[in-house]
């Protein structure tokens, strides 16, 4: 989503760069803090269609965007692009995960040897190791399934 509330709503993280690095089809948000309501705030979320699609919509519009209901257009674009964007984001995420594993490969091997974990690990043990040594915020168990890492005994070598 375009924002996340943490610490019982006392900390709000806002993703405002909706088409950052060309990754469109995602959410952004803004926080509005009005003096009369302080310290309360409102979060307004928005969907950002991919830049190419927005440019195409404006270019092909006979009115060049005048009088258009951009909320309606954005909602339609969201439906069309959200699945493709999710697939694209998942692919980029998996590439980042693989890169992280490659970069930390010596530390992973060293840890497995130091802990006497053997030559094959359960999926849970593998997830624990890569979460600790690589990055903990990835869906490692899902990646193990997708990458077909398990052998016939359900372990990862």
The structural domain count of the chain equals: 2
Please report whether residue 97 resides in a domain.
no
Please report whether residue 23 resides in a domain.
yes
Could you tell me if 110 and 76 lie in one domain? no
pLDDT tens digits, one per residue of 19-44: 666 666 677 788 888 888 888 888 88
Please report whether residue 128 resides in a domain.
yes
Could you tell me if 74 and 133 lie in one domain? no
Any idea which residue has 């926080």 for tokens?
31
Could you tell me if 3 and 77 lie in one domain? yes
Could you tell me if 55 and 112 lie in one domain? no
Please report whether residue 93 resides in a domain.
no
Report the alpha-carbon distance of residue 96 to residue 16 in Å, rounded.
22
Please report whether residue 90 resides in a domain.
no
In terms of phi and psi (left: phi > 0; alpha: psi -120 to 50; beta: otherwise), the region of 3 is beta
Residue range of the domain that includes 16? 1-81
Exposure on the CB side of residue 115, measured as CA atoms within 13 A: 14
Q: Coil, strand or helix: which one is 67?
A: coil
Which of residues 21, 47, 81 is at a domain's end? 81
With beta carbons less than 8 A apart as the criterion, state whether 119 and 157 touch. Answer: yes
pLDDT at residue number 144:
92
Any idea which residue has 């692919």 for tokens?
91
Could you tell me if 110 and 144 lie in one domain? yes
Please report whether residue 87 resides in a domain.
no
pLDDT tens digits, one per residue of 75-128: 776 676 667 777 777 888 899 899 999 999 999 989 988 888 888 899 999 999
pLDDT at residue number 17:
61
pLDDT tens digits, one per residue of 43-79: 887 777 677 776 776 666 655 555 566 667 667 766 7
Q: Coil, strand or helix: which one is 23?
A: coil
């Amino acid at each position: 989503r375009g924002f996340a509330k943490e610490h019982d709503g006392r900390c709000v993280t806002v993703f405002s760069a909706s088409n950052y690095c060309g990754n469109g089809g995602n959410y952004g948000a803004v926080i509005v803090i009005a003096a009369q309501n302080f310290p309360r705030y409102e979060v307004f979320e928005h969907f950002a269609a991919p830049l190419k699609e927005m440019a195409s919509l404006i270019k092909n519009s006979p009115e060049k965007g005048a009088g258009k209901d951009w909320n309606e257009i954005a909602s339609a674009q969201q439906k069309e692009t959200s699945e493709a964007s999710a697939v694209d984001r998942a692919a980029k995420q998996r590439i980042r995960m693989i890169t992280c594993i490659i970069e930390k490969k010596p530390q992973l091997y060293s840890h497995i040897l130091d802990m006497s974990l053997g030559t094959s690990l359960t999926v849970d043990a593998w997830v624990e190791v890569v979460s600790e040594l690589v990055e903990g915020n990835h869906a490692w168990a899902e990646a193990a399934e997708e990458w077909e890492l398990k052998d016939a005994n359900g372990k990862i070598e």
